[in-house]
């Protein structure tokens, strides 16, 4: 054994010595380096690529189809396809003048003239024109149906689109192939007329080519409602642009109308966009944008290690803390999301909250300011209590509408006042079940805060978590108050189905003829001043009736490497990549 041990001691020393000797070996390969350095791409005007994290893989070039309609595709297509307008960082409508312009030419019937910019072309050189808009109308406004009957008994639509709101009011536009101007004539006024056309317009000439016809034939087929000729068109449009992971279609099929074209895609890893050389607008500030697919909870460390430059994960307090811990290694932008939390009352006949006095008592004991201070302010120091349902605190009309619609009576909890109301109604000790989704720590904390306050006033708050919130809300016997969030869309008329009597998203039994009438008018009102008036009226009623209690807008966080400029926090659903063409590296 002794010899063996001595042997090992020698080996130990040898190993350490070897390490030391290898120090001399380090420098021996300098001569090889030039070989590797040569492969480096030459520095371009647009600078180094900027890498942004997305948490889900790309699946389709057609973000307007049933299967392609998803945030994961919008994230990429933001840079690849343009339209007449897009949402700005606060959900406002931003016109895209480089692409084209539009204006109302007649109020009755509502007529909108769309004019494509003369120099607007697809990256393959084909002009962007009326053909493309006509195809969009055909897919969404024409209501073409196949001969087949679906399981629900209705004919299956020819083009499988996720919704036709607004477009179904537009008469068939008349235009010749290649026209740069076209008019939309509405059968009735429509409040959200600006948002009718898609933000991502698709290339009609590609669809025609893939269906084996010429673009002129395509226009003719639509003009003649020729369903036989349109069948192959629909077949390609519905799924032809969908791709399996990493299997990028022929670039000729994926032209760009935006600042970037899709260059390459490595399944599960990344997708690369490069500048569109034929872009008619201002060229993008950075030539290459790399979109890396990274799970949200891993994005902060990837940013810290320089593997991505821009991240916008969903917020929680830990996330903000870990970003703050990185100090000046990253730049953090806090702000809001257009998703807002609220408490809805179940007012169906016989329900506890059918009694307006109890609704008022509940509203009086909910500590709204405290909830915002404790749960939201750590992630967004600017966060405020939301006092409206149809406007966000950053909207320009917000202050004016709040002033008229809401008296400030529920700003701070009034336990004694609430207790008096509860006692007067003889409802002391009444159980109030607050329905919320599960798991969701922030909502659990919210309910705990309400319980701490409202139990003092005489309610007995019961936290009622459910994994299936959708089914839970429809079952009006299972709760008194529902706590959840709506993801705001920026579309004004979408609120109609929430507050009108017996609408699909109003299972609470709420009914106010004045609110119904105001909504009915709003849907067909295009005058913006009148729209605000009507919304003020609606909000006033909703506060007076205590339909619901708005709480706060969800906080949002965007973080980026300090040397990247132009990144903005985006409150709308269009995600951080919405202005990728403005990002640059200083």
Partner 1 sequence: MLVFIVRRVIISFFILLAATFVMYLLTANSGNPLGDLQESRAPNREALIEARIRLLNLDTPAPLRYFIWLKGAAGCLVPFALECDLGQSIQGQDVSALLGVAFTQTLQLVVAATVLAMILGITVGIVTALRQYSGLDYTVTFSAFLFFSLPIFWVAVLLKEYGAIRFNDWLADPTVPITVAVVLGAISALFWMIVIAGDRNRRITTFVAAFVASAGALWLLSETQWFADPGLGVVVIAVTAVGLAFLTTAVVAGFTYRNVLYSALASAAVGIVCHFALGPVLDDPSSLTILLLALVTVGVGVGIGYALGGLQRRQAIQAAVFTGLGTGALLFLDRLLGAWDSYSDRVNGRVIATIGARTPNFEGTFWEEGLDRATHLVLPTIAIVLISFATYTRYTRSSMLEVLNQDYVRTARSKGLAERGVIVKHAFRNAMIPITTLMAFDFAGVLSGAVITENVFGWTGLGRLFTDSLRAVDPNPVMGFFLIAGTAAVVFNMLADIAYAFLDPRIRLS
Which of the residues 105 through 164 are near partner 1 (CB under 8 A)?
150-151, 160-164
User: Cβ closer to partner 1: 208 or 338?
Assistant: 338
Of the candidates 14, 206, 179, the one whose C-alpha atom is nearest the C-alpha of residue 113 is 179
Cβ within 8 Å of residue 313, ≥6 positions away: 53, 55, 296, 297, 299, 300, 319, 557
Residue of the chain from 177, 393, 488, 550 that contacts partner 1 (CB under 8 A): 488
Residues 459-478 that bind partner 1 (CB under 8 A): 467-471, 473
- Closest contact distance (angstroms) between CB of 418 and partner 1 is 29
Q: How many CA atoms lie within 13 A of 545 on its CB side?
A: 22
- Closest contact distance (angstroms) between CB of 175 and partner 1 is 26
If binding is defined by CB under 8 A, does position 29 make contact with partner 1?
yes
Q: CA 158 to CA 146: how far, in whole Å? A: 5
If binding is defined by CB under 8 A, does position 3 make contact with partner 1?
no
Q: At what angle do helices 415-424 and 441-457 cross, to 10 degrees?
A: 70
Whether the Cβ atoms of residue 313 and residue 299 lie closer than 8 Å to each other = yes
If binding is defined by CB under 8 A, does position 344 make contact with partner 1?
no
User: Cβ closer to partner 1: 108 or 148?
Assistant: 148
Q: CA 106 to CA 432: how far, in whole Å? A: 52
User: Cβ closer to partner 1: 381 or 562?
Assistant: 562
Residue of the chain from 27, 408, 426, 513 that contacts partner 1 (CB under 8 A): 27
Dihedral angle of Cα 322, 326, 331, 333, to the nearest 10 degrees = 20
Question: What number of chain residues touch partner 1 (CB under 8 A)?
Answer: 100
Interacting stretch for partner 1, rule CB under 8 A, among 19-27, 78-86, 121-129, 364-372? 19-27
Of the candidates 274, 277, 99, the one whose C-alpha atom is nearest the C-alpha of residue 199 is 99
User: Cβ closer to partner 1: 235 or 414?
Assistant: 235
Whether the Cβ atoms of residue 385 and residue 369 lie closer than 8 Å to each other = yes
What is the sign, positive or negative, of the torsion defined by CA atoms of 85, 556, 480, 347?
A: negative
Q: CA 200 to CA 205: how far, in whole Å? A: 15
Q: What kind and span of H or E run contains 133?
A: helix 130-140
If binding is defined by CB under 8 A, does position 328 make contact with partner 1?
no
- Closest contact distance (angstroms) between CB of 136 and partner 1 is 14
Residue of the chain from 121, 200, 270, 531 that contacts partner 1 (CB under 8 A): 270
Contact letters (x/-) for partner 1, 490-529, by CB under 8 A?
-x-xxx--x-----xx------------------------
Q: What kind and span of H or E run contains 302?
A: helix 299-304
If binding is defined by CB under 8 A, does position 269 make contact with partner 1?
yes
User: Cβ closer to partner 1: 129 or 539?
Assistant: 539
Residues 162-221 that bind partner 1 (CB under 8 A): 162-166, 192
- Closest contact distance (angstroms) between CB of 469 and partner 1 is 6
């Amino acid at each position: 054994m002794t010899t063996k041990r001595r042997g090992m001691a020698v080996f130990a020393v040898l190993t350490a010595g070897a390490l030391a000797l290898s120090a001399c070996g380090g420098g021996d390969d300098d001569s090889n380096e030039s070989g590797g350095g040569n492969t480096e791409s030459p520095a371009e005007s647009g600078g180094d690529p900027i890498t942004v994290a997305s948490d889900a893989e790309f699946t389709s070039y057609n973000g307007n189809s049933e299967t392609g309609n998803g945030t994961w595709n919008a994230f990429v297509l933001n840079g690849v396809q343009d339209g007449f307008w897009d949402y700005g960082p606060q959900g406002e409508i931003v016109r895209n003048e480089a692409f084209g312009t539009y204006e109302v030419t007649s109020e009755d019937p509502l007529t909108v003239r769309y004019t494509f910019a003369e120099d607007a072309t697809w990256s393959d050189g084909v002009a962007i024109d009326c053909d493309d808009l006509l195809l969009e109308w055909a897919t969404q406004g024409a209501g073409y149906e196949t001969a087949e009957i679906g399981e629900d008994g209705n004919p299956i639509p020819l083009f499988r689109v996720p919704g036709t709101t607004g477009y179904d009011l537009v008469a068939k536009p008349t235009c010749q192939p290649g026209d740069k101007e076209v008019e939309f004539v509405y059968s009735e006024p429509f409040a959200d007329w600006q948002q009718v056309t898609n933000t991502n317009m698709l290339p009609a000439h590609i669809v025609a080519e893939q269906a084996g016809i010429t673009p002129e034939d395509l226009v003719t087929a639509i003009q003649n409602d020729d369903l036989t000729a349109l069948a192959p068109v629909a077949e390609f449009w519905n799924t032809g642009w969908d791709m399996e992971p990493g299997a990028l279609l022929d670039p000729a099929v994926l032209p760009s109308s935006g600042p970037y074209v899709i260059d390459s895609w490595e399944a599960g890893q990344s997708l690369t966009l490069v500048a569109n050389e034929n872009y008619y607008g201002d060229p993008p500030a950075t030539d290459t944008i790399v979109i890396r697919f990274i799970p949200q909870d891993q994005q902060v460390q990837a940013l810290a290690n320089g593997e991505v430059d821009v991240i916008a994960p969903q917020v929680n307090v830990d996330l903000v803390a870990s970003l703050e811990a990185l100090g000046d290694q990253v730049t953090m932008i806090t702000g809001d999301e257009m998703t807002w939390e609220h408490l809805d009352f179940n007012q169906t006949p016989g329900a506890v909250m059918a009694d307006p006095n109890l609704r008022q008592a509940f509203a009086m004991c909910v500590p709204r300011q405290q909830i915002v201070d404790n749960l939201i302010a750590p992630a967004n120091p600017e966060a405020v209590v939301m006092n409206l349902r149809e406007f966000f605190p950053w909207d320009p009309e917000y202050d004016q509408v709040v002033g008229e619609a809401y008296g400030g009576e529920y700003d701070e909890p009034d336990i004694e006042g609430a207790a008096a109301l509860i006692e007067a109604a003889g409802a002391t000790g009444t159980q109030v079940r607050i329905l919320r989704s599960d798991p969701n720590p922030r909502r659990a904390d919210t309910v705990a805060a309400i319980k701490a306050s409202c139990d003092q006033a005489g309610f007995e708050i019961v936290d009622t978590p459910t994994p299936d919130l959708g089914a839970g809300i429809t079952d009006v016997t299972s709760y008194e108050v529902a706590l959840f969030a709506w993801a705001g869309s920026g579309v004004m008329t979408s609120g109609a189905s929430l507050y009108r009597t017996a609408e699909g998203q109003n299972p609470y039994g709420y009914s106010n003829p004045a609110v119904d009438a105001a909504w009915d008018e709003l849907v067909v009102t295009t005058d913006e001043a009148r729209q605000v008036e009507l919304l003020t009226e609606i909000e006033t009623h909703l506060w007076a009736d205590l339909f619901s209690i708005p709480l706060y807008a969800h906080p949002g966080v965007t973080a980026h490497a300090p040397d990247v400029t132009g990144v903005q926090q985006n409150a709308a659903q269009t995600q951080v990549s919405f202005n990728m063409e403005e990002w640059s590296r200083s």
